[in-house]
Amino acid sequence: MTNVQAKPETTGWTKPAPTALLVLADGTVIEGYGLGAPGHAIGEVCFNTAMTGYQEILTDPSYAGQIITFTFPHIGNVGTNEEDIETVNMAASSGARGVIVHAPVTNPSNFRATRHLDQWLKARNIIGLSGIDTRALTALIREKGMPNAVIAYAPDGKFDLAALKKEAAAWPGIDGMDLVPDVTTAQRYDWDETTWELGKGYGRQTDPKYRVVAIDYGVKRNILRLLAKAGCAVTVVPATTPAENILAMKPDGVFLSNGPGDPAETGKYAVPVIKSLLDAKVPTFGICLGHQMMALAVGAKTEKMHQGHHGANHPVMDYTTGKVEIVSMNHGFAVDTKTLPKNAKETHRSLFDGSNCGIALDDRPAFSVQHHPEASPGPQDSHYLFKRFVDLMQKSKKAA
């Protein structure tokens, strides 16, 4: 009889060692698994509730200085492509400094995909972390506010934890920080690309009716596309362009773009320019940071929010139409409604927390909104605002 030696009992699968960390400023360490670019970066951690559009979110210049946690567990499953990037300069660094997702990223399953999210993050130098309880992190942000943190990825799993904790604790945070110089254009340029259509791609404008100067505080591509689609010949200028240079271009309207950072800091050089444009009664339209700085230009104040608004499912009341619209949001500061002057009428308000989402001036042809009517990602409920801007320019031209 042959003796058969029993095989040793197995203990099941072995949990892989963590290769990425999120180190909060208070010393909390959250372990996960790395993806994207190895290295480490510091920023403010926010959560975004959008279920789609992660590529557009990660390239939105308004996210400069932030680490984005997606509340939706499955991110990356439709891959990435070269058409859904929102930074105007394709070679420029992305807005976000890091990304946190719950589930491991699967292979792409969409006909438009050209690359896996992991490869795309590497190419854009974005550090990623997966495999953590994003619901718990979201609950922490809701309770304590948006923390400063370091996100780190080391393929060998080796970290200088003491140094990372020290770096996270020492970072001063976005409050009081002007981040616009990191994302604005270095020189003036013209824009004529229009919106995307299935089977056709992006179009080109051929018959513009209005000349618009867009001040770039971190502008998104789809804003410029919708302006072009609405009949505007758009010229984009750097954030520090003097008012006299803008007025010398004889624009029919001026657009104040979205962007990152503390509006009060950017406003130190932007507000005097905006004041001059408003005094010249040039039709003006602002979005996000542009909205906040228009409010500052008429004497209102802004304030840091506890957790901010980041997502594509925010309900906003438009008092000019009496309708509720679902909008895309991305901001960590808000206009303090109590400080609005008499000539600034509140036109939009968040139905989540009652914060201000829009104003219109009684004595100037100017209005602005806190949310992102261009979407990308998000619903298109607010596309009408671009027509409202065109109508304002048309009315102003007729009155001239």
Question: Is 331 labeled as catalytic in the residue annotation?
Answer: no
CA atoms in the 13 A half-sphere facing the CB of 236: 24
232 is catalytic: no
Q: Are 221 and 234 in contact (CB under 8 A)?
A: no
Q: How far apart are CA 49 and CA 355, in angstroms?
A: 18
Supply the angle between the helices 263-279 and 289-297 in degrees, to the nearest 10.
Answer: 60
Tokens of 151: 């996100």
Residue 372: active-site member: yes
The residues near 327 (Cβ < 8 Å, ≥ 6 apart) are 312, 314, 315, 316, 357, 371, 372, 373, 378, 379, 381, 382
**Closest among 132, 149, 236, 231 to 184, alpha carbons compared:** 236
Report CA Rg, the chain. 23
Q: At what angle do helices 384-399 and 221-229 cross, to 10 degrees?
A: 50
Measuring CA to CA, which residue among 105, 33, 102, 99 is closest to residue 60? 99
Residue 278 and residue 254: Cα distance in Å, rounded? 10
Helices (H), the chain: 54-58, 117-123, 134-144, 161-170, 221-229, 243-248, 263-279, 289-297, 384-399
CA atoms of 186 and 88, how far apart (whole Å): 12
Q: What is the 3-state secondary structure (H, E, C) of 174-212?
A: CCCCCCHHHCCCCCCEEECEEEEECCCEEEECCCCCEEE
Q: Over 104-140, what HEC string results?
A: CCCCCCCCCCCECHHHHHHHCCCEEEECCCHHHHHHH
- 32, 129 in Cβ contact below 8 A? yes
Among the options 56, 167, 232, 288, which is catalytic? 288
> Which sequence positions are flagged as catalytic?
288, 372, 374
